[in-house]
Structure 1
Amino acid sequence: MSIAHWSTMDTKVGPFTAVVASDGAVLASGWTARVEDLTGLISPSLAPAELRAKRDLGPVSTAIRRYHSGELNAADEIEVRQRSGEFMQRAWDALRTVPAGKPVSYADYAALAGRPAAVRAAATACARNAAALFVPCHRVIRTGGGLGGFRWGVDVKRWLLDHEDPQD
């Protein structure tokens, strides 16, 4: 039986919850106080049989605190586990290569994921990303600089991009 743990912590932009597998890999995360907002995002093949609240998720909680305090690469080394088709997997891996402070357009993101013509599929990969922050889909914006959508709200996306802006 697989057990996963979850925790919610306050951040400068609102509550942040993470669901972590027993081996420490992030299964889902985002700017919400409700774990229920995350559980449906986990691939059924990875869904834990049981979820338990835990005050501290070790390296994951540390990375969340450090990122929100200004250490923008703090989440980079945390393992993430998501499951989908080949393109989605490649697209999520590509997102992890987009550096803080250097957002890319959806077209550039599609190219990074190996399919330059698949702009809509790249946008779908962002929309289906269960592990926000650890797979930084907020770093993908529209051509021309528009924010585009974000599961956790455009205000949160704007805060994250401003937080990561090297001009600050």
Structure 2
Amino acid sequence: MSSQPLFRAEVDVLGRPFHAIWTPEDGALRAAGFATAADPAADSLVERLARLDPGLAARGFAPDASGSSPVVSSLRAYAAGDLRAIDGLIVAQPGSPFRAEVWQALRRVPAGGTVTYTALASLAGRPKAVRAAASACANNLIALVVPCHRIVRSDGGLGGYLFGTEVKERLLSHEGAGAQQALFG
């Protein structure tokens, strides 16, 4: 494995600072999320990554010197309205095999649509594992690109979101979806 520092960049997404961390050798996004009032530098991303993959985080972090990496370009294109721009980004995050299945299922939910936690569990191949699917969403380290914001409650409510329901609502609106537009169950 490379000893080169991980790249880190901040991109404006819908008027909010969005932070992305990726490995330069393969361009794989390793952590991503919005800054919040309580965490303006998104330091919690680094802390979560260090907790889940200490060896990777030990490489350190460096700003993306080019500012035009595929990760940054894709995020900017998404923010500008090309909702599919983030679909091709490579992602990698540590987790159990079932969580990996849930995260893959999340990436199959298209922009403009939403699914319930129940439907997400089915999409991941374990229809009765609704709580485990919800836990995978809560522990998703690569927000936006692994689109946990597209998951809603079965009653049509937004449900929670690590970066706040206002951000979740803005993302869904940007994508042309609403909490009532569930694609599956």
Fold match, TM over 0.5? yes
Seen in structure 2, the aligned counterparts of structure 1 residues 109 and 13 have a Cα distance that, compared at 3 Å, is: farther
Relative to structure 2, which stretch is displaced further, 25-34 or 96-105? 25-34
Q: Could you say which residue in structure 2 is the equivalent of 1:18?
A: 20
Q: Could you say which residue in structure 2 is the equivalent of 1:150?
A: 161
User: How many pairs does the alignment contain?
Assistant: 167
Q: Once the 2 structures are TM-superposed, how far is the Cα of residue 41 of structure 1 from its aligned partner?
A: 2.4
Q: Could you say which residue in structure 2 is the equivalent of 1:36?
A: 43
Distance 1:150 1:116 in 2: 22
Q: Once the 2 structures are TM-superposed, how far is the Cα of residue 31 of structure 1 from its aligned partner?
A: 1.1
Which 4+ runs in 1 deviate beyond 4 A?
none
Relative to structure 2, which stretch is displaced further, 5-14 or 122-131? 5-14
| Contact kept in structure 2, 1:107 and 1:143, CA below 8 Å | yes
Q: Once the 2 structures are TM-superposed, how far is the Cα of residue 54 of structure 1 from its aligned partner?
A: 2.1
| Contact kept in structure 2, 1:6 and 1:57, CA below 8 Å | no
User: What is the root-mean-square deviation of aligned Cα atoms in Å?
Assistant: 1.6
Deviation string, structure 1 residues 16-62 (Cα, Å, up to 9, x no partner): 11001122110000111424121122231543411112252511111
User: 5+ residue gaps in structure 2?
Assistant: 179-185
Seen in structure 2, the aligned counterparts of structure 1 residues 140 and 120 have a Cα distance that, compared at 3 Å, is: same
Seen in structure 2, the aligned counterparts of structure 1 residues 80 and 102 have a Cα distance that, compared at 3 Å, is: same
| Contact kept in structure 2, 1:2 and 1:48, CA below 8 Å | no
Deviation string, structure 1 residues 46-83 (Cα, Å, up to 9, x no partner): 43411112252511111111111111111000000111
| Contact kept in structure 1, 2:33 and 2:42, CA below 8 Å | no
| Contact kept in structure 1, 2:12 and 2:79, CA below 8 Å | no
The TM-score with structure 1 as length reference comes to 0.93
Seen in structure 2, the aligned counterparts of structure 1 residues 118 and 166 have a Cα distance that, compared at 3 Å, is: closer
Please say if 1:116 is aligned against 2:127. yes
Seen in structure 2, the aligned counterparts of structure 1 residues 74 and 8 have a Cα distance that, compared at 3 Å, is: same
SS of 2:142's partner is coil
The TM-score with structure 2 as length reference comes to 0.85
Please say if 1:89 is aligned against 2:100. yes
Report the residue type matching 1:80 in the other structure.
V
| Contact kept in structure 2, 1:95 and 1:135, CA below 8 Å | yes
